Structure 1
Amino acid sequence: MITTAGLARRFGEVTALEGLTLELPEAGVIGLVGPNGSGKSTLIRMLLGLVAPTSGTGHVLGEPITDPERYLGRVGGLVENPAFVPGLSARANLLSLARLRGLPPSRVDEVLRTVGLTGRDREPVKRFSLGMKQRLGIAVALLPDPELLVLDEPTNGLDPSGIVEIRGLLAGLARSGRTVLVSSHLLSEIEAVCDHLVVIRFGHLVYSGPITGLLGRTRQRIEVAPEHDHDLAALHSALSADGWQVEHTGDGRLGVVAEEHQGPDINRAAARGGITLRSLTAVRSSLEEIFLEMTGGNDQDLTAARAAAAEKRA
């Protein structure tokens, strides 16, 4: 569906994307994730013909991104916040856009049903919530009945219920046989509906593959807590002396790097140290934790890493 080879884009001295090589499958939901400023929007704009690459090549639906007119009729896109005439109804906005594109009015009813706005379509858009406006924006992108749907941060600014609504919509579009490329800076917002995942950081590819491939990077540990809180240090010493890798979790527990079946061994090691355990729980790190390890834990970490990367290039 989408391929790139050594794709790069620079804006003066700023490198937005560097040597990106991808091969993205057909059908399903493809998540494009990375921290803010990682190059996601730049990549989407290049795929939609809005920004020309500095170097490298790319193809969408088998056509080169240097000739977007050859494939854009088969692509629907939503970049940033959708803009509508606020005093007009959702239906009137869609009808005017359908006429501009030479599309039959029947497509308006179809896309309204798809995004779940039937029954609210005659209300002025100015009364719509942010989530409803996002759904209307996706309806606009669906008007040409595209094979590929590209959505840039469709859940940005939505409340939890709005995020759930958009997730359900994306899943339904994928089940209909479309390919949906959706970007986000939070893996947790889209991981439930993604089949394939692309992770970029500072314009560089960190991971591309099935989302299940990240599960192999998750770590399992066993969290233990002593019966008495004052025994925590002694428990740490006893387990470490027995050869276990132990770390503090910060909540009165210890995390032991181990598989679930090793729980009895840890319990016996604690007993040999004269400590009774209050709890012993097997825990596996989430995909969100793996994502944060790959991309940076917080804005302060990212800022420091960006500065270090820029200094290294200089």
Structure 2
Amino acid sequence: MSVIKTAGLTRHFGEVTALEGLTLELPRAGVIGLVGPNGSGKSTLIRMLLGLIAPTSGTAEVLDEPISAPGRYLDRVGALVENPAFVPGLSARTNLMSLARLRGLPASRVEEVLQVVDLIGRDAEPVKRFSLGMKQRLGIAAALLPDPELLILDEPTNGLDPSGIVEIRGLLADLARAGRTVIVSSHLLAEIETVCDFLVVIRFGHLIYCGPVTDLLTRARQRIEIAAEHARDTAALLALLAADGWQVEHTPEGRLSVAADEHQGADLNRCAARGGITLKSMTPVRGSLEEIFLEMTGTGDQDLTGARAAAAERKVS
């Protein structure tokens, strides 16, 4: 069963196309990563799914209900969009109690969500003393108050230090193990790849990939890093490999990176032996999801800006 379906979902803001013809289907349970460069349309998609803005065209369903009638499903959805807003002078517990009362939820849910996000023991402190990571956890606690089937988090690790990112990763994994569906958006795949089961990659509002993480990993570039026993033989080894038709690059550490899979190690060893060169090390390396992501979307915001400008010129002409 799917948690979200879209068909031709499109949103224009004046002359800017934020999403164009987005068609996808997302499975229930687990962590789903929604990734793409800044300005790719992730937040626009989230706002449409939450009923905050209407699509220009196309349709979508959340928990089998149309987004044209958000009242039918929003009580089963929790969301954290941008920075969570709390009363700074009040404690974490008091802030959550106020939200629970507004939504007609039992006070027992406050205790439960504080435990889920590991804020018990800090819940009596005023929110103004919280670190950014703790505020993010409190925001997730607020989103969990209605005990939602679907949790949507927009850039939950944005601005966090490494320890805060690790904390949020662990929390996402715990929520998925509890049987929830968690959709987490980010422009940095490395922040969420360790906990994602499924990925959606968007660029310029277009769908680039939608599927299991394991399937995307098959696109990873495989290579073998090798090093000669004596550094002076590196240039000769490079020439031997190139003459044999191997694609070879230097690594920053002074080794040679050969486009090959782990089963071709013996062939590389024989090639080196023909030149009288002894290999000191041979290490198979698979490209990361982040490398695949960058190949699919560009290397950064500068690439995105340039490509957008080029696309706009083609549209005009």
Q: TM-score range by the shorter chain?
A: over 0.9
Identity fraction in percent = 80
In the alignment, is residue 142 of structure 1 matched against residue 135 of structure 2? no
* Distance of aligned partners of 1:301 and 1:248 in 2 relative to their CA distance in 1, 3 Å threshold: farther
Deviation of the 1:91 alpha carbon: 0.9
Letter in 2 for 1:305: A
Contact 2:7 2:58 in 1 (8 A): yes
- For residues 116 and 217 of structure 1, the distance between their equivalents in structure 2, rounded to whole angstroms, comes to 37
Deviations 1:25-60 (A, max 9, x none): 111111101111111111000000111101110000
How is 1:37-116 mapped onto 2 (pairs within 5 angstroms)?
37-116=39-118
Partner of 2:285, secondary structure, is: strand
2:203 to 201, 204, 212: 201
Deviation of the 1:78 alpha carbon: 0.6
Partner of 1:154: 156
- For residues 224 and 258 of structure 1, the distance between their equivalents in structure 2, rounded to whole angstroms, comes to 11
Deviations 1:180-234 (A, max 9, x none): 1110111111111111111111111111111111111012111122334443332
Partner of 2:237: 235
Partner of 1:21, secondary structure, is: strand
In the alignment, is residue 309 of structure 1 matched against residue 311 of structure 2? yes
Report the more deviating stretch, 266-275 or 188-197.
Answer: 266-275
Deviation of the 1:250 alpha carbon: 4.1
Report the TM-score when normalising by structure 1.
Answer: 0.96
- For residues 123 and 99 of structure 2, the distance between their equivalents in structure 1, rounded to whole angstroms, comes to 15
Partner of 1:282: 284
Deviation of the 1:304 alpha carbon: 2.2
How is 1:123-142 mapped onto 2 (pairs within 5 angstroms)?
123-142=125-144
Partner of 1:3: 5
Deviation of the 1:24 alpha carbon: 0.4
Stretches of structure 1 lacking an aligned partner (at least 5 in a row): none
Partner of 1:220: 222
- For residues 227 and 18 of structure 1, the distance between their equivalents in structure 2, rounded to whole angstroms, comes to 54
Letter in 1 for 2:113: V
Deviations 1:131-151 (A, max 9, x none): 110011011111111111111
Partner of 2:19, secondary structure, is: strand
Letter in 1 for 2:82: E
1:177 to 176, 179, 187: 179
Deviations 1:256-298 (A, max 9, x none): 1112122122122122223333322211111111111111123
> RMSD between aligned alpha carbons?
1.4
- For residues 173 and 275 of structure 1, the distance between their equivalents in structure 2, rounded to whole angstroms, comes to 53
Letter in 2 for 1:226: A
Deviation of the 1:247 alpha carbon: 2.5
- For residues 299 and 251 of structure 1, the distance between their equivalents in structure 2, rounded to whole angstroms, comes to 28
Report the TM-score when normalising by structure 2.
Answer: 0.95
Deviations 1:144-188 (A, max 9, x none): 111111110111111111111111111111111111111011111
Deviation of the 1:309 alpha carbon: 2.1
- For residues 22 and 192 of structure 2, the distance between their equivalents in structure 1, rounded to whole angstroms, comes to 22
- For residues 257 and 283 of structure 2, the distance between their equivalents in structure 1, rounded to whole angstroms, comes to 9
Partner of 1:22: 24
Letter in 2 for 1:184: S
- For residues 204 and 58 of structure 2, the distance between their equivalents in structure 1, rounded to whole angstroms, comes to 17
Partner of 1:190: 192
Letter in 1 for 2:269: N
